[in-house]
Amino acid sequence: MEVKDQYPYIYFFVQHIVFVYKIEGGNYLTLKDVNEKGEWQTYEIDRGEEYKAFHHRDRSPLVGKGYFLSEVDMARMVKEINKSIHRHRVLTKKHHGSTHEYGPYHLISSESSAGALKVGLDRPKTVIGFPDFFAFGPLWSLHEKSGWDKRSEWLFEHINFDFQSQYEYETNISAALQAIEDIPEDVPIYIWYGTNVEEQIGLRFFIHQVKDKTNEVFLINATEFYEKSMMPADQHPNCFHTNHIDPKDLKVIFHESKNNQPVSHEELCRLQREWRELTLTKEVLRIWSHGEIQGMKEDHYDSLILDVLKQMHYNQPAKDFMKTGSVIGTILGTIDELISDSFLEYRIRHLVYSGVLELKGVPKSMRHYSVKVR
């Protein structure tokens, strides 16, 4: 594959076909974006040497004819498109200087929470949600590409993800990391988090990612603020995660918190150190307990799963299969703790493969199969 950048167009030459993508907007793209939202045109050329002089405006695009591209090729295309966006961002900043139109930057370790912030907060602002769930999966050596590769491999060997492929996950991660790296130096950075393991690890991860920047960094514990100052007295369970908070309430939280003092140098150093310590651990499951991130054995929730299943069987007229999604919903409703339904589904499959549970259906998602205790 040959690549030619003529921003806002970028050309990809594969065999005798030129794929032309038009970049619209300055946000980094994911594999899903390029597949579903991008403006593509294709052109046929007869000889490879023509490609050097090729310009799409001199040709008519193909109509009614499609070509198959592998996910490997598509992932590389996304990488090259994002490189072009990055180069354009650098040039724009160099020529225009000002970054006031971006507003403050908000970092949060959940794409759903990022969506709520985008809705709730006033413009101008830039919100970056990180497309991962740090409560499970390896964190070993995440300061290196090999660490991300190992994490990606583990997740796709064990977890039924919403991502269509490993390439989609990896391009999402790459786009988010590049967006954080590109944060201008003259804007404040607000890191949102809550009193749960996912966001507590995310907080330390973000602090590590911005460690070389000179920006003022502010921390907003959204769930703590909500519980102390906004949560109705009769609400139960407690607010576990920022994505449980309504966008209009997030706006209030930001208004009340935005003038807080930036995080101190000592606190930054502590959080950076704790992130480094996390990347030395080998556990694939972590919980938030007594104000600390604690690594746990992979089978930590297995006994809970079995206890809930046995109780559900007890309430049946006769022991029978139960939808896995219903089992997981019951588990989540029994404890005051934030647990990933994806991780629970993985452990249920493990109990099936270990012979502890019986299976009916195809375990491609929690909605597609049922289980019972043998």
Average pLDDT, the chain: 90
**313 to 305, 333, 350: CA distances (angstroms):** 12, 17, 20
Percent of the chain with pLDDT over 70: 95
Residues 182-238 have pLDDT tens digits of 999 889 999 999 999 999 999 999 999 999 999 999 999 999 999 888 877 776 666
Percent of the chain with pLDDT over 90: 66
- Residue 123 sits at the vertex; the CA angle it makes with 21 and 88, to the nearest 5 degrees, is 30
- Residue 188: HSE in the Cβ half-sphere, 13 Å Cα cutoff: 18
Position 98 scores a pLDDT of 52
- Residue 161's pLDDT band (boundaries 50, 70, 90)? confident
Residues 6+ apart with CB under 8 A from 179: 27, 28, 128
- Which DSSP letter does residue 102 get? G
Per DSSP, the three-state class of 122 is: coil
Position 63 scores a pLDDT of 87
52-66, 179-193, 323-337: lowest mean pLDDT where? 52-66
Domains of the chain listed by start with CATH number: 2-88 (no CATH), 99-289 (no CATH), 302-373 (1.10.10)
Please state the rounded mean pLDDT for residues 255-269: 93
Chain-centre distance of CA 190, in angstroms? 18
**220 to 37, 195, 225, 235, 325: CA distances (angstroms):** 33, 11, 8, 22, 33
Residues 268-307 have pLDDT tens digits of 999 999 999 999 999 999 999 989 999 999 999 999 999 9
Q: At what angle do helices 247-257 and 111-120 cross, to 10 degrees?
A: 70
Per DSSP, the three-state class of 110 is: coil
User: Among candidates 40, 25, 131, 125, which has minimal Cα distance to 85?
Assistant: 25
Which of 99-103's residues contact partners 24+ apart within 8 Å by CB, and which partners? Answer: 99/184, 99/186, 99/187, 100/124, 102/126, 102/184, 102/187, 103/187
Strand order in the sheet with 189-193: 126-129, 105-108, 189-193, 217-221
- Residue 307: HSE in the Cβ half-sphere, 13 Å Cα cutoff: 9
Q: Is residue 223 within 8 Å of residue 241, measured between CB atoms?
A: yes
Q: Which two tokens stand for residue 101?
A: 């139109």
